[in-house]
Amino acid sequence: MERHKIGIIEDERAIADLLEYGLKREGFLTRKAYNGAEGWSMVESFRPDLLLLDWMLPDTSGLEICKKVTAAYNIPIVMITAKSDITDKILGLEFGADDYITKPFDLREVVARIRTILRRIAQANRTGAGAESQDPVIRIKDIVISMNERLVRRKEEWVDLTPKEYDLLLMLVQNRGVIFSRSELLDRVWGYDYAGDTRTVDTHIQRLRKKLGLGDLITTVFSIGYKFEKQVDV
């Protein structure tokens, strides 16, 4: 059975050591770094399946590392933060994080969230693999979605989407005409045990519309949620 690789970027050595110890006991392969520069090198060499990233680092902001990682790799990120304000947490999600853990945390919760994210990715990949045997590419207007590579191209240029933006787009596109409430999208894309609120969905919808020019196709259904309008693929 393949062992998942977890990267840890955390400047508090006691916390980094605790995470490394606990994750190794759960069967994960781990690498850790104590600042942003070391962390970026670790990501490039280790290529983790998931990254645990501290919000506050001595040499840079964890948000900047989050933005840099999501721009270059399709790696899910869980922010570790002492900030409990929901605005700060939403900011982390907007920078590309998939989830967050607030200090002090229970190691069991960290492991559970990691397994939930990895399980969701595996399920999405299996679903995508089944669809790829028939049609690995979805075309909508001037947009091409490569399900095999989890990449999106618009007007022959690649568009940088975070893992969650891609998952949300695929959910809507594969269910064109279906109206989803914000809570349904939160459950299906982020997972039923996700601790955020529905404003996260609104933020990601706005970013998809802006990045892909889909304001006319991703429509708001008043007092309910969102849907992707039906149209003929071209």
Find all residues with CB under 8 Å of 175, minimum gap 6, and list them: 228
Whether the predicted pLDDT of 50 surpasses 90 = yes
* Domain locations in the chain as residue ranges: 5-120, 135-228
> 135-228: what CATH class?
mainly alpha
Helix and strand numbers (H, E) in the chain are: 8, 12
| 3-class secondary-structure state, position 53 | strand
Q: What is this structure's pTM?
A: 0.62
| 3-class secondary-structure state, position 90 | helix
Q: Which of 109-113, 167-171, 214-218, 230-234 has the lowest mean pLDDT?
A: 230-234
Task: Specify the pLDDT at position 132.
Answer: 43
| 3-class secondary-structure state, position 70 | helix
| 3-class secondary-structure state, position 219 | strand
For 118-150, b where at least 16 C-beta lie within 10 A, e where not — what string?
A: bebbeebeeebeeeeeeeeebebeebbbebeeb
Provide long-range contacts, Cβ within 8 A and 24+ apart, for 22-27: 22/107, 22/110, 22/111, 23/111, 23/114, 26/111, 27/3
3-state helix, strand, coil in the chain (%, to 5): 45, 20, 35
Fold of 5-120: Rossmann fold (3.40.50)
The strand pairing partners of 157, in sequence order, are 154
Q: Which residue has the tokens 């400047």?
A: 11
What span, in angstroms and rounded, lies between the C-alpha atoms of 108 and 106?
Answer: 5
pLDDT digits (tens, 9 = 90+) for 72-111: 888 889 988 876 666 666 777 777 788 888 888 899 889 9
